[in-house]
Amino acid sequence: MCKVIGIDPGTRSFDICGIEDDHVYYEKIIDTIDIAKNPGILLKSIEDLFPLDLIVGPSGYGVPVTYLTNIPFDKVEDWYLTNILLLKKKDLENALKRGDIGIMVYYGMVKSAIEMKKRKWPVCYIPGVIHMPTVPKYRKFNKIDMGTADKLSTAVLGVYDQSREYQIDYSEVSFILLEAGFGYNAAIAVYNGRIVDGVGGTSGGLGFLTIGSMDAELVQLVGIWEKSDIFVGGASTISSKTDPRELEKCIDTDNRCYEAWQALIESNIKNVYSLLPSVNNKPREIILSGRLSRIKRFEEELSTKLSKIAYVRKIGYLNGAKITKEAAQGYAIVACGLAGGYFEDLIDWMKIKEAYGTAIDYVVHPKKELIRGLFR
């Protein structure tokens, strides 16, 4: 039996999920802004659960499976900012001064890592899609974000869920996961029970908050960008609505809301269609997850349009889960597998322990030399 915790760092909330074997025994949701102001809130919600076999901490863009105990204390902040968040400290400080909502999640993640290191907790960090050996290298060129660690974790839950739903082996699982969150959208292709491709929140269509992929002409015209700039330019900016449900309410009465909604729906659909070749054009299912998938109209419109490809359904939860997001449950599954518990076979099958490299390994543009030193 394993007793583990998974922590999903969302733009809106941190979700904490604890499992023993395949059953959820603990769930907690904390506002991201509250954690940014006081990281101790996150730690307090976990420390009473000890002893724990493993905690999979907020892993951002991902790293090969890395244990916090192996990172020197004086290196934790720089290592975390660079490798997990792909973020310069100056950009973080500037964004915090402005009070940028999107960047608050990063601040909370950095502080929580430092505090867990102080306490010598059994913490590890996990890969993103680009680190996976099951994704062919030719799909990785000039990509950094093919799906962050939380999107990978949701895909892990998806593999388990489809295997359970249809009583099939992991090797028979095939789907495209569409994750639509408060900040980002992403899609991940799973074939033969393994992650084979992905479109990340900054490489695909726009999200509710985020701009998504950017025209290279825009990039060169602007010239100077900060991390916080990716958290604007999405449906929220188009519509001037700060909550997805506010956007839904004005679709039929406000043309700007209508356009923002259509952009959001269509960007998700395009993400899915772009991954069809990676699953031999025949996924068993399209699986929906994320905060936006809980909005009925959003779910219905996507289901209607994507049903032309395959059966569409919302992802199933772990036994006992009631309130935590899908990614938090996936984080916990990975923790349990890495700790040698109930999900070890699943994690071994998906080759998560074999992840390798950094997020910039497949950039072939000459400008890569300007950032290579950050990852030494």
- Can you tell me the mean pLDDT for 151-160? 98
What pLDDT digit, counting tens, does each position of 225-266 carry? Answer: 887 788 899 999 999 999 999 999 999 999 999 999 999 999
Tokens 């497949």 sit on residue:
362
Domain that holds residue 65: 3-375
Inform me whether the pLDDT recorded for 296 exceeds 60.
Answer: yes
Categorize the per-residue pLDDT at 99 as very low, low, confident or very high, splitting at 50, 70 and 90. Answer: low
**Structure token pair of residue 286:** 């399209």
Categorize the per-residue pLDDT at 61 as very low, low, confident or very high, splitting at 50, 70 and 90. Answer: very high
pLDDT of 250 reads: 96
- Can you tell me the mean pLDDT for 163-182? 97
What pLDDT digit, counting tens, does each position of 126-141 carry? Answer: 999 999 999 999 999 9
pLDDT of 100 reads: 67
Residue from 150, 149, 151, 127 nearest 275 by CA: 151
Answer whether 299's CB lies under 8 Å from 288's CB.
yes
Inform me whether the pLDDT recorded for 96 exceeds 80.
Answer: no
Residue 51: cis peptide before it, omega within 30 degrees of 0:
yes
Residue from 214, 159, 223 nearest 192 by CA: 159
Model-level pTM? 0.94
Domain count, the chain: 1
Write down the mean pLDDT value for the chain: 93
What are the backbone angles phi and psi of residue 289, rounded to the nearest 5°?
A: -155, 175
Burial class (CB in 10 A: 0-12, 13-18, 19+), 77: middle
Inform me whether the pLDDT recorded for 374 exceeds 70.
Answer: no
Inform me whether the pLDDT recorded for 98 exceeds 90.
Answer: no
pLDDT of 102 reads: 62
pLDDT of 376 reads: 57
- Can you tell me the mean pLDDT for 279-307? 96
- Can you tell me the mean pLDDT for 6-29? 93
In percent, the amount of the chain with pLDDT more than 70 equals: 97
pLDDT of 183 reads: 86
Categorize the per-residue pLDDT at 90 as very low, low, confident or very high, splitting at 50, 70 and 90. Answer: confident
Q: How far is CA 363 from CA 360, 368, 370, in A?
A: 6, 7, 12
pLDDT of 169 reads: 98
Inform me whether the pLDDT recorded for 92 exceeds 80.
Answer: no
- Can you tell me the mean pLDDT for 187-208? 96
Inform me whether the pLDDT recorded for 10 exceeds 90.
Answer: no
What pLDDT digit, counting tens, does each position of 318-340 carry? Answer: 999 999 999 999 999 999 999 99
Answer whether 153's CB lies under 8 Å from 181's CB.
no
- Can you tell me the mean pLDDT for 159-169? 98
- Could you tell me the CATH number of the domain that includes residue 283? 3.30.420.40
Burial class (CB in 10 A: 0-12, 13-18, 19+), 291: buried
pLDDT of 351 reads: 98
Categorize the per-residue pLDDT at 373 as very low, low, confident or very high, splitting at 50, 70 and 90. Answer: low
Which of 93 and 303 is assigned the larger pLDDT? 303
pLDDT of 13 reads: 87
